[in-house]
Chains A and B, each alone.
Chain A
């Protein structure tokens, strides 16, 4: 109980400052085939400074799976019944988004849209949102999610958030932003390194490691209140937090009993239990989505490799066999495999492995790629890379075809963590 100290934000820790340098995402490689889509500016959209369709189009374009087509169809349709499918088919468009915006007089706006399939000549979706102008961005991401899901069959992740660490001079910040880099908010600032942020499954809290006490200590911080709590500050090093899917427990790496070893601990800091005993390093735990197993890195075989622990039986199975350095496993939310970092010829690259086939696919070029984190739809991976002297974030699709670069104007950016689906 002594360890469960609610630490109020110390002077070294500043409250969130809204004006963060924003990440912008560039597509640097696209899918082989893209879906041609026409997103018609909504009726009355120009009445508001920040529109909606521009953000929808940018979201879809950035996914690498869509191609925005300027059709020039006139007059512009705003409702499903106004769309002449033939006009759009003639311009090579497979899908059309139309919609309207109407001020309700109380500061709120009625936003409605429809998604149409010009090949099947049907309406795929239609939604209405009543929102304030401050919610336009979020609304645009929701519309993009609907379009993405209807046209690709996969859940959209435009409404999710990402966390990452920035380093500017000697200053470190843990930042949370929208998945497109928008709306960045500093959660914690420190003059000592921060690393390993990871989201609680409900998206309300972050666990991370801070060196502010001249050693690695694991904290949990509420995003709503900013309050933080020491999760693990035992003798030695405390690191590599990983939430269990139930959100009640975390796996962590502690050296309190000698060597880097895996433990589980309740999210309130109670109930510490050792998970495994090995003579070497065991670290970087990642729960499988059913919560029944843990992937982790161990050098028990002489080189760092990825293993899987069956928590109930205690059985440990080696998962990686190619190469002499495989670390940082992250279990995919779809339960089909995991991403990790592999070293080959001195280059560190992100790879993905399928449980069933054991097939390994290298997804990124290196040379210093690390910290992969998988989107909740298992289709995109965000990771840290080195570009010249700078740390940047990059994205890659799980099939390796779509490549993105997230560019920050000033700071080094690292340690990305993709948040869960919005509730």
Chain B
């Protein structure tokens, strides 16, 4: 069941990438109302405010200005960088869409800005296969960001697999923390 949902999202994402025009994001908007509807809770509201702030400055040459400061502002959703995943999964849960959209809009407003998305897995599974799984998580985040306004060239996706666990424990709490993609902006 879950795999069908992933498949549908990937197909939608690929379809969006390979065509041109302004309706590209339509399929994803249908699937992800939370990400694009401003009337959601805390995170989304913050995202809206941030997006407004960034787009308020001139797009050209604005990469290092007020936008960059927002990345470090703990009250700004742009300071949030972690997207968590279920075991063996790389579907993005709805709760992370506001965060991902905020970063996408930041990159859209700052075309000279660059970001790296780093995928991670828990310790279960073999090392090289986990590098590939972590990559899928990073790629899933990138796809969504591109659909939401960032460009392909702005985002590099890489994977650490299970090599750089944030928590070293061998329990579910540690594993959950390590099944993660992190958004890192250039210069950080």
B116 within 8 A of A: yes
A255 close to B127 (CB less than 8 A): no
Neighbour of B116 across the interface among A214, A260, A328, CB < 8 A:
A214
Which of the 9-residue segments A50-58, A85-93, A112-120, A235-243 touches chain B?
A235-243
Neighbour of B124 across the interface among A236, A237, A253, A348, CB < 8 A:
A348
B127 close to A297 (CB less than 8 A): no
A181 within 8 A of B: no
**A328: B residues at CB distance < 8 A:** 126, 128-129
A236 close to B158 (CB less than 8 A): yes
Interface string of B117-129 (1 = CB under 8 A from A): 0100001111111
Contact (A283, B159) CB under 8 Å given A237-B135, A348-B124: no
Closest to A196 in B: B128
**B3: A residues at CB distance < 8 A:** 302
Interface string of B143-171 (1 = CB under 8 A from A): 00000000000001111110110000010
Closest to A284 in B: B128
**A343: B residues at CB distance < 8 A:** 125
Neighbour of B123 across the interface among A211, A260, A327, A368, CB < 8 A:
A368
Q: What CA separation (Å) do A343 and B130 show in the bound complex? A: 14
**A327: B residues at CB distance < 8 A:** 125-126, 128-129
B132 within 8 A of A: yes
A193 close to B163 (CB less than 8 A): yes
B101 within 8 A of A: no
**A226: B residues at CB distance < 8 A:** none
A95 within 8 A of B: no
A258 within 8 A of B: yes
Closest to B160 in A: A211
A196 close to B127 (CB less than 8 A): yes
Interface positions, chain A 217-260, Cβ under 8 Å from B, are 235-237, 239-240, 253, 255, 258-260
Chain B interface, >50% SS class: mixed
**Interface size on A (CB < 8 Å)?**
37
**B161: A residues at CB distance < 8 A:** 216
B160 close to A283 (CB less than 8 A): no
Neighbour of A235 across the interface among B135, B156, B159, CB < 8 A:
B156
A240 close to B163 (CB less than 8 A): no
A214 close to B128 (CB less than 8 A): no
Q: What CA separation (Å) do A235 and B158 show in the bound complex? A: 8
What's the minimum C-beta distance from A370 to chain B, rounded to whole angstroms?
5
Neighbour of A341 across the interface among B116, B126, B132, CB < 8 A:
B126
Contact (A348, B131) CB under 8 Å given A193-B164, A215-B158, A281-B136: no
B126 close to A281 (CB less than 8 A): no
What's the minimum C-beta distance from A237 to chain B, rounded to whole angstroms?
5
What's the minimum C-beta distance from A50 to chain B, rounded to whole angstroms?
37
Q: What CA separation (Å) do A211 and B116 show in the bound complex? A: 14
**B160: A residues at CB distance < 8 A:** 193, 211, 216
A253 close to B128 (CB less than 8 A): yes
**B77: A residues at CB distance < 8 A:** none
Neighbour of A348 across the interface among B126, B139, B170, CB < 8 A:
B126
**B156: A residues at CB distance < 8 A:** 215, 235-236
**A302: B residues at CB distance < 8 A:** 3
Question: Which of B123, B127, B156, B163 has its CB near the most chain A CB atoms (within 10 A)?
Answer: B127
B133 within 8 A of A: yes
Neighbour of B129 across the interface among A209, A236, A255, A281, CB < 8 A:
A281
Contact (A195, B163) CB under 8 Å given A214-B116, A302-B3, A341-B126: yes
Interface positions, chain A 368-423, Cβ under 8 Å from B, are 368, 370-371, 389, 415
Neighbour of B127 across the interface among A259, A260, A370, CB < 8 A:
A370
Q: What CA separation (Å) do A315 and B129 show in the bound complex? A: 22
**B163: A residues at CB distance < 8 A:** 193, 195, 211
Contact (A216, B123) CB under 8 Å given A253-B128, A281-B129, A328-B128: no
**B132: A residues at CB distance < 8 A:** 239, 253, 260, 281, 283, 297
Interface string of A173-199 (1 = CB under 8 A from B): 000000000000000000011011000
Question: Which of B128, B157, B164 has its CB near the most chain A CB atoms (within 10 A)?
Answer: B128
10 further A-B pairs in the complex, CB-CB below 8 A; given A283-B131, A368-B123, A389-B170: A209-B131, A214-B158, A215-B156, A239-B132, A240-B131, A281-B135, A284-B129, A297-B132, A348-B125, A415-B127
The 17 sampled A-B contact pairs (Cβ below 8 Å) are A193-B160, A211-B160, A211-B163, A214-B118, A215-B116, A215-B156, A235-B156, A236-B135, A236-B156, A237-B135, A239-B131, A255-B135, A260-B131, A281-B132, A348-B125, A370-B126, A371-B127
